[in-house]
Structure 1
């Protein structure tokens, strides 16, 4: 249902959008935390010492991406906490929306990098790069193309389709 058919006040619409963003951020936060937790256990495995320079560098880049992802999720909450009661909910929602898009991007990079690292360690670099490319392409299709296709088909489609 388009926003203009909901018969909401602007405040109600912003409250709904903020609630939706919070739910999305909760899901992404869990994924980011599990991924970061996985990455943080790797140096304590005996096989970690056998990683080559490329693998160690990729691992460290992934740790940084996981940390940045966590900070991006937290920043939406920090913005809300700081601006709560300041009568700027539209700015809070817009900022949280942008942060959510950044989190989606960071998680896609993180997942792609993890696939590259795991395949590089388990198989070889060529296979790792190929599968990382497949995952990156899949992420682009699911996170960018699919929402745009759904939006484009929204005017002609129905909820029953």
Structure 2
């Protein structure tokens, strides 16, 4: 869909007359709202990434076993991937700016943000798994990492899905 095909829609799929905005204004607003969401998630990823980077330079890092090192490296790479997914919309916008592709930018950026949240959930679960594994042991680490992942999935995916269904929002 190009920007010329963009149609302002309300939550129920009908034209969005309540906001009295053109399709281009809606695309601009949607992108601004998405960028605001990404600012929050990007900060979280940056903090997680910084934490993970410092771990490799601590005194206890050489004591990690193979499982813990694997968890560490996997989590570090997931944090990098999440950061890339969350910053990609800015690069996409910069590359396509002024070419009448705002709706496309919004649609692709929204998908990138959703993928970024999924990867961030895995990275958070990995970080929790690693820390709890070091402090309390393997079983506790696996359990709390799994609970962290379920919590993220519940709050970031299941809750919005349930609210959409309950409110009749497509």
Q: Does the TM-score normalized on the shorter chain lie above 0.5?
A: yes
Equivalent residue of 2:98, what SS? Answer: coil
Q: Unpaired segments of 5 or more residues in structure 2?
A: 1-9
Structure-to-structure mapping, 1:103-142, within 5 angstroms: 103-142=116-155
- Higher relative contact order, structure no. (Cα contacts within 8 Å, ≥ 6 residues apart): 2
Residue 97 (1) aligns with residue 110 (2): yes
Query: How many corresponding residue pairs?
Result: 156
Residue 47 (1) aligns with residue 60 (2): yes
Aligned to 1:22: 35
1:66 to 79, 103, 107: 79
Residue 154 (1) aligns with residue 160 (2): no
Equivalent residue of 1:35, what SS? Answer: helix
How far 1:155 moved relative to its partner? 4.4
Length-normalised TM-score, structure 2: 0.87
Q: Which runs of 4+ in 1 moved over 6 A?
A: none
Give the alignment's Cα RMSD to 1 decimal: 1.5
Length-normalised TM-score, structure 1: 0.92
| Higher normalized helix content (fraction of residues) | 1
